[in-house]
Amino acid sequence: MLEESRLLVEAEFRRLFAACKETGYGPLYDHLAVYPFREGKSLRPAILISTCTAMGGKTYQAITSAAALELFHNAAINHDDVQDVSDFRRGEQTLFRQLGVPIAINVGDATNVLAISLLLQNVEKLGVRKALQILREFERMSRESVEGQAMDLDWIRTGCFDLGDQDYINMVYKKTCWYTTIAPMRIGIICGSAVKHSGSLDDYLQDTLELGFATGVAFQIQDDLLNLTADEVLYGKEISGDLYEGKRTIMLLHFLRSASVAKRDRALNILRFPRREKTAKDIKWLHREILNHGSIEYGQKIARKFADRAIALEPKLATFMQHNAGREFIREVLNYMVERLK
Amino acid sequence: MLEESRLLVEAEFRRLFAACKETGYGPLYDHLAVYPFREGKSLRPAILISTCTAMGGKTYQAITSAAALELFHNAAINHDDVQDVSDFRRGEQTLFRQLGVPIAINVGDATNVLAISLLLQNVEKLGVRKALQILREFERMSRESVEGQAMDLDWIRTGCFDLGDQDYINMVYKKTCWYTTIAPMRIGIICGSAVKHSGSLDDYLQDTLELGFATGVAFQIQDDLLNLTADEVLYGKEISGDLYEGKRTIMLLHFLRSASVAKRDRALNILRFPRREKTAKDIKWLHREILNHGSIEYGQKIARKFADRAIALEPKLATFMQHNAGREFIREVLNYMVERLK
């Protein structure tokens, strides 16, 4: 399903980029195509498309929106890379390292424009009512995402580590959950819903928001846990990379709250420096202290709480979804997302 | 009219930002409000609103779109400032100098999201048909703008000065004309048009595109001319600032084509360095050579050609606009834009 979604979305990209190049300034679209064709998991389009088919819709009704969602994601990671001064993305140099900051920013902007272009094509494909409803979901998702990003960037700029679990969860809800789980499912529901559903649609969308929230938070905490505990070869990312970046995680925040004043001060002194000024010795100390303070177990407990909530909410989908392959994939992918530590 | 439009649009901003702050992450919207409330000319909203009333529409039908257009403009200048590493905007520090590159990029992104939020509110205000048509205009405008920006940034990155007038005009058409003259008029026409117009609307929109193109190019060349010739006190910008920036203008490109190989090489050597590495002596030499090669007169001739074309096309508006204050303002503002050198 992941592979199939990726191929469908890539075909949509090829069609769109070719049309843009035909009438517009070609080199822009060559730069724009770089990230979308670097292989990713394609998790979000797959969730959107299979939610649509689980609602009884056809795959073609979801592809345009799935491709728009993936473009939004690619625009976001492009600007993220500039904001975080990242060197690599999906195993290759980041776009801004290849072409400079100005072009990378513009390519991100253009990628967002093309997401809107695609969503306007939904008018012919799905009719005015659904097309507008999807545009509204997209607008909400984009607004939540820039708010989540704003929270994160404000914490970094002000060197703020005095944060509770609720701050972290609220940031993740906005920055991660909306575009990773909530919007893909909600837009999939709209794409695939029959007219007879339209009365109760708001209820389904609300259920999905709660399920997507619980799933997304469990997913993100587990991602943060993996960064502290996983096997580097298996995980594919640099272990403790989050500590180098000073990323606020449930585990780090727990450690900072539990540590003695002296240790807390030492940790903050390490964290507040830019990535390049942190030494491997500092990071090793920080990593060991996080382990010693039971912060891993604490993070696992919180992740478990959200995973349990997601598992409890998931059967609600059966009240409006059909029993088919799309539904089965949704169940499996949600389970994978909340249980992948095991 | 400019002042009235500014006040209407600012009231719309206040309403929108307050609503966003109420449910969302407040500090983002405080940062987002910085540029929109720094006083600008408000040219684009005024053109949009008076085109709407010239079509027989009411002001309130245009305000939401005018505010969206102004937000788009503010997002663009925010990202522009990062791309050009500019220190000042509208007489104060640029946002990225105040808050850093990451937050400035995110604020630009958020500003674009709010433009879309406003355009979706048109559904209730203007009905589905017009709201979608305006969204399509906005999408086209955004796409042209990022393409124009891409052309300009590619020339800068590759150090390309081997350009003809047509390259410059094509870039200005995309980067300046679309969001300064073409889209404001076209969206104004859609906002204010009566149902009886809908058959011939495409013709009106096409006429407007041609008029907006001629006006916008004349406007931009005159802006570039002012930068080389105007009185610094009256103009309010640093004279020869464009030469420091290495900005491709009709005049500079004409000089480079007309100069001897030795002078051309010396000029390129100056232009290819970043702004801070150029000396006042270099710029003085370049400025004098541009004057000596008749490049000012050449630029004036091209600007005149586009101004004449705009003046010849303008009466076409009478075939579908009413004789009222809105129409009068459009005539005056277009005249101002193409004749402001005198």
Which chain B residues are closer than 8 Å to A139 by Cβ?
113, 116-117, 120
Per-residue model confidence as pLDDT tens digits over A54-96: 999 999 999 999 999 999 999 999 999 999 998 999 889 999 9
The verdict on residue B35 lying in a domain is: yes
Domain limits at A117? 1-197
| Domain end call among A155, A177, A197 | A197
The verdict on residue A327 lying in a domain is: no
Which chain A residues are closer than 8 Å to B28 by Cβ?
146-147, 150
Tokens for A337? 């997302």
Mean pLDDT, residues B80-99: 93
Which chain B residues are closer than 8 Å to A178 by Cβ?
none
User: Model pTM?
Assistant: 0.95
Residues 131-170 of B with CB under 8 A from A: 132, 135-136, 139, 142-144, 146-151, 153-154, 156-157
Tokens for A194? 């029959």
Residue A28 and residue A135 share a domain: yes
Predicted confidence band of residue B283 (pLDDT cuts 50, 70, 90)? very high
Å from B189 to nearest chain A CA?
20
The verdict on residue A334 lying in a domain is: no
Please state the length of chain A: 342
Whole-number pLDDT of residue B241: 84
Which chain B residue shows the shortest CA-CA distance from A170?
B25
Pairing label, strands A92-93, B88-89: unpaired
Give the burial string for B320-334 (b: 16+ CB within 10 Å, else e): bbeeeebbebbbebb
Report the C-alpha gap between A132 and A120 in whole angstroms. Answer: 9
- State yes or no: pLDDT of B174 exceeds 90: yes
| Domain end call among A197, A225, A253 | A197
- Cβ neighbours for B213, distance < 8 A, ≥ 6 positions apart: B173, B177, B181, B182
CA angle A7, A12, A14 (to 5 degrees): 95
Residue B221 and residue B168 share a domain: no
Report the C-alpha gap between B232 and A118 in whole angstroms. Answer: 46
Q: Which of A83, A102, A139 sits opposite B102 (nearest CB)?
A: A83
Report the C-alpha gap between B191 and B53 in whole angstroms. Answer: 9
Mean pLDDT, residues B268-294: 91
Which chain A residues are closer than 8 Å to B147 by Cβ?
24-25, 28, 110
Contact flag A157-B103 (C-beta cutoff 8 Å): yes
The verdict on residue A149 lying in a domain is: yes
B296: domain CATH number? Answer: 1.10.600.10
Predicted confidence band of residue A256 (pLDDT cuts 50, 70, 90)? very high
Per-residue model confidence as pLDDT tens digits over A114-137: 999 999 999 999 999 999 999 999
Å from B3 to nearest chain A CA?
30
| Domain end call among B180, B198, B216 | B198
- State yes or no: pLDDT of B261 exceeds 80: yes
Q: Helix, strand, coil proportions of chain B in percent (round to 5)?
A: 80, 0, 20
Number of separate domains in chain A: 2
- State yes or no: pLDDT of A24 exceeds 50: yes
Residue B81 and residue B14 share a domain: yes
Residue B175 and residue B92 share a domain: yes
Contact flag B79-A149 (C-beta cutoff 8 Å): no
Residue A205 and residue A277 share a domain: yes
Which chain A residues are closer than 8 Å to B81 by Cβ?
none
B2 part of contact set with chain A, CB < 8 Å = no
Residue A307 and residue A166 share a domain: no
Determine contact, residues B119/B131, Cβ cutoff 8 Å: yes
Report the C-alpha gap between B95 and B38 in whole angstroms. Answer: 11
E strands present in chain B: 88-89, 92-93
Whole-number pLDDT of residue B340: 73
Which chain B residue shows the shortest CA-CA distance from A123?
B132
Which chain A residues are closer than 8 Å to B123 by Cβ?
132
Report the C-alpha gap between B107 and A150 in whole angstroms. Answer: 8
Residue A188 and residue A50 share a domain: yes
- State yes or no: pLDDT of A329 exceeds 50: yes
Report the C-alpha gap between B74 and A129 in whole angstroms. Answer: 30
Determine contact, residues A268/A163, Cβ cutoff 8 Å: no
Helix (H) or strand (E) holding A113: helix A101-126
The verdict on residue B324 lying in a domain is: no
- State yes or no: pLDDT of A303 exceeds 70: yes
Residue A181 and residue A210 share a domain: no
Contact flag B102-A151 (C-beta cutoff 8 Å): no
The verdict on residue B97 lying in a domain is: yes
Whole-number pLDDT of residue B342: 43
E strands present in chain A: 88-89, 92-93
Residue A167 and residue A246 share a domain: no
DSSP per-residue codes, B65-132: HHHHHHHHHHHHHHHHHHHHT-SEETTEE-HHHHH-HHHHHHHHHHHHHHHHHHHHHHHHHH-HHHHH
Whole-number pLDDT of residue A230: 75
Residue A187 and residue A69 share a domain: yes
Report the C-alpha gap between A67 and A75 in whole angstroms. Answer: 12
Tokens for B225? 């001319």
Determine contact, residues A213/A177, Cβ cutoff 8 Å: yes
ipTM score: 0.95
The verdict on residue A311 lying in a domain is: yes
Residue B266 and residue B146 share a domain: no
CA angle A243, A247, A248 (to 5 degrees): 115
Contact flag A106-B153 (C-beta cutoff 8 Å): yes
